[in-house]
Chain A
């Protein structure tokens, strides 16, 4: 089934905005995705008609809110095919989820001399928490190197994942380059060596059908705002047994069974990891966002975005002096590029003035930029509401920027 793009675009009110007098062309979906009206409405409807704190209240509104909130947990469980509902932990986002794992699993199970393996293309949020842990526990952080095309070599992974490796933590899709990593193979190699593996799906959840049981990964994390849902929402999936063995993260309300000055007992999963009043409205609207994506069909989305990627790659490649960074065979709808001799920021400013939103800079992946010896890139990232006409506007914008800046 093909997507009805005009109809989809009508669902996203922001796409009608004029920016600096020009029609907005939003190509910064890697940073965050826009919200359909149903998601905006879900959040405001909850505040207008159903709001109260959840889990504690005996009164009607509290029960309504609790049901809505817990139903989304079930929905997420089905969405990624987790075995149990209580394996779905709400977080503030991907960064928060990775930090949770570093702080709890890392502190308990990773010790001096143990190794944590990431890739050279990771987002800072999948580097820094591990560096912090290594500083504290004297464990060692290693990485699988990048190849010229922005992919990793599975042979390197086989060499670097050893019985010393306690955890492999890798991104499914590179936010800076678009590379899709061979996570099935990485999961198999990690398990063969007795290591656990975390998949950072911040850039994958909006593009691929996910089955965490089939993947057999130990942790799987993503952000709500990258799948057309609210900011400040995210999911940590973990296998039941591992989550049970992990100590709690933050202490506070909701995560306890009993509290007394002689000692406190902790709540069961998933609440053990969910201290304090959460982003209730956000989580409820995340459910709406996931349903929106499911109704369009992830496979339809993927097919259309691939078509856009191929079209944009062809058009951009034809611009003289433009170099694309990240040319792996398996890529998501992200194009990172530079114009010869021109700083990416200058290009971003000129495009912005034409209403075209792209991202410039290091994309929170400084090691990737160091690898290529560049200060940063311009990055256009596409979603299902983008069109080939918008790609054409981008191409015209780049040509104009090139003319002005050369």
Chain B
């Protein structure tokens, strides 16, 4: 099982292959398309992440003391972005998730490239995932 940081490092390496943001978007789009659909029963208001122009849902569940995330969005680039976060954080303990330092966002230049609106959405996604971590930590 990879650590959160080793997955982040992998993503940073993936992104370093592209100079052009166009290619990075291609990567996010293809990644978004490769992700499965979130089961309709989890597309609830409670699982909605607000602050994004598109609709984004995040479902978390605990299995063998590890927290697993499943996400979806009706915009494919957003799905790719939330998918990256899921790839980094899903399958780790609530404590690891709550304490994680998501340096890959800065390193791949994602935040700089997003409109403020979308950057807020990204912040909301991270916050929601960490909140899940904290909530399950307490249980």
Contact = CB atoms under 8 A, between A and B. Distances in A.
Contacts of A345: 53-54, 75, 77-78, 118
Contacts of B29: 346, 404-405
B115 A375 contact: no
B104 to A, nearest CB: 19
B4 to A, nearest CB: 27
Contact of B54 (A20, A375, A405): A375
Nearest to B52: A345
B25 A404 contact: yes
B21 interface: yes
Contact of A349 (B55, B74, B77): B77
Most buried by A among B53, B78, B115: B53
B12 interface: no
Contacts of A376: 53
Nearest to A401: B25
A233 interface: no
A343 B115 contact: no
Contact of A361 (B21, B53, B55, B78): B53
Nearest to A352: B115
A350 interface: yes
A63 to B, nearest CB: 42
| Chain B interface residue number, banded | 10 to 19
Nearest to B121: A345
Contact of B75 (A20, A346, A352): A346
A352 B74 CA distance: 19
Given A352-B115, A361-B53, A375-B54, A405 B22 contact: no
A82 to B, nearest CB: 38
A200 to B, nearest CB: 24
Interface in B1-60: 21-22, 25-26, 29, 53-55
Contacts of B55: 375
B124 interface: no
Given A343-B76, A345-B77, A405-B76, A353 B25 contact: yes
Interface residues of A, number: 16
DSSP class of B's interface residues: helix, strand, loop or mixed? helix
Interface string A321-359: 000000000000000000000110110111011000000
A360 interface: yes
A90 B74 CA distance: 42
A196 B65 CA distance: 65
A113 B25 CA distance: 54
Contacts of B26: 404
A353 B115 CA distance: 11
Nearest to B30: A404
B74 A343 contact: yes
Interface string A353-392: 1000000110000000000000110000000000000000
A353 B22 contact: yes
A350 B26 CA distance: 10
Contacts of A405: 29, 76
A334 B20 CA distance: 31
A346 B53 contact: no
Interface string B88-110: 00000000000000000000000
A353 B21 contact: yes
Interface in A288-330: none
A349 B25 contact: yes
Nearest to A349: B77
A195 B46 CA distance: 44
Interface string B55-72: 100000000000000000
Nearest to B24: A353
Contacts of B113: 353
Given A349-B25, A353-B21, A404-B25, A360 B77 contact: no
A345 B76 CA distance: 9
Contacts of A348: 115
A405 B74 CA distance: 12
Contacts of B115: 348-349, 352
B21 A20 contact: yes
Contact of A350 (B25, B54, B78): B25
Nearest to A362: B53
A335 to B, nearest CB: 19
Contacts of A360: 53
5 tightest A-B CB contacts, nearest first: A343-B75, A345-B75, A345-B53, A345-B54, A361-B53
13 contacts: A342-B76, A343-B76, A343-B78, A345-B53, A345-B78, A346-B76, A346-B78, A349-B25, A349-B77, A349-B118, A352-B115, A376-B53, A404-B26
Given A346-B76, A353-B25, A405-B29, 16 more contacts: A342-B76, A343-B74, A343-B76, A345-B53, A345-B75, A345-B77, A346-B29, A346-B54, A346-B75, A346-B77, A349-B25, A353-B21, A353-B22, A353-B113, A376-B53, A404-B26
Interface of A: 20, 342-343, 345-346, 348-350, 352-353, 360-361, 375-376, 404-405
